[in-house]
Amino acid sequence: MATTTTEHSTGGEAAQSGEGHSAIDPIHQFEIEPIIPIHIGGLDLSLTNSGLWALIAVALVSLLMLTAPTRLIPTRLQSVAESLYDLVFGMTEEVLGPQGRSYFPFVFTLFAFILAANLLGLIPGAFTVTSHIIVTLALALVVFIGATAIGFIKHGAGYFRLFVPAGVPQVLLPFVVPIEIISYFIRPFSLSIRLFANMMAGHMMLKVIAGFVIMLGVLAGWLPLMALVAIYALELLVAVLQAYVFALLTCLYLNDALHVDH
């Protein structure tokens, strides 16, 4: 669903920019602008709007997790922090088993950062850090390279067994092994493209429909406005869900690295 809406939205965008409505440009929200220019050597290390919102996400999560009071009967803020912790802890334990506890901090950090970035992006005027594929691909590559390294450290060359499923006849191996290798190497791409496409498609859809509200004016504008409210609710669900899916798949990939022969 998400990928098809991307195409629809880009189509709509092309038609609109053809008409010259510069105010309703759904791509504009993804533009990266330097806020504090920093140039060291030949490198452009400027703090951009993307970097700023990533920092805000980190600050917000740190604030929530570190300063929440630890009362027996939790305050609202504390119960938010605790249920986030519970959710991710339950997931890592379920997928990785008790020995996966050492990976919990990593999975939780990923989950909390992506969740905060996704949710902050839904604030009107905010920048969605996770709507850029370079950000999500970097996160996914950390997971992929990390999991692969862990697999080779734990199993040595035995990790290659992942590409040779048990019980496959010799004749089929020339076909099965390339398929397994490809399906292993597409992991970081499916992980990053899923998150990025969901966030970008959702935000473009919101912008396009918000454009309809303005174009149709007071007379008929309330119709897309109602749709906008519904889609915004859906986007809230997607923001939480995609953060969860990212963390879940991180666990599954780590599980493959820990238990090659399951």
Name the residues that contact another protein, by CB under 8 A.
Answer: 1-3, 72-73, 94-95, 175, 178-180, 182-183, 185-186, 189-190, 193-194, 197-198, 237-238, 240-242, 244-245, 248-249, 252
**Cβ closest to another protein, residue 107 vs residue 213:** 107
How far apart, in whole angstroms, are the C-alpha atoms of residue 24 and residue 236?
Answer: 22
**Cβ closest to another protein, residue 105 vs residue 178:** 178
Backbone conformation region of residue 156, classed left if phi is above 0, alpha if psi is from -120 to 50, else beta: left
The letter for the amino acid at 118 is N
**Cβ closest to another protein, residue 58 vs residue 176:** 176
Is residue 246 within 8 Å of residue 114, measured between CB atoms?
yes
The letter for the amino acid at 153 is I
Q: Considering the complex, what minimum distance in angstroms separates the CB of residue 80 from another protein?
A: 16
**Cβ closest to another protein, residue 35 vs residue 179:** 179
Nearest residue to 129 via CA among 15, 245, 239? 239
Q: Considering the complex, what minimum distance in angstroms separates the CB of residue 238 from another protein?
A: 8
**Cβ closest to another protein, residue 143 vs residue 238:** 238
How far apart, in whole angstroms, are the C-alpha atoms of residue 204 and residue 26?
Answer: 5
Q: Considering the complex, what minimum distance in angstroms separates the CB of residue 190 from another protein?
A: 4
Q: Considering the complex, what minimum distance in angstroms separates the CB of residue 135 from another protein?
A: 17
**34 SS3 class:** strand
- Kindly state the tokens that stand for 245: 């899916």
> Beta partners for 34?
48
Q: Considering the complex, what minimum distance in angstroms separates the CB of residue 122 from another protein?
A: 17
Nearest residue to 125 via CA among 195, 192, 206? 206
How far apart, in whole angstroms, are the C-alpha atoms of residue 221 and residue 225?
Answer: 6
**Cβ closest to another protein, residue 141 vs residue 245:** 245
**43 SS3 class:** strand
**Cβ closest to another protein, residue 149 vs residue 241:** 241
Q: Considering the complex, what minimum distance in angstroms separates the CB of residue 146 from another protein?
A: 20
3-state helix, strand, coil in the chain (%, to 5): 80, 5, 20
Q: What is the DSSP string of 159-176?
A: GGGGGS-TT--GGGHHHH
> Beta partners for 39?
44
Q: Considering the complex, what minimum distance in angstroms separates the CB of residue 195 from another protein?
A: 9
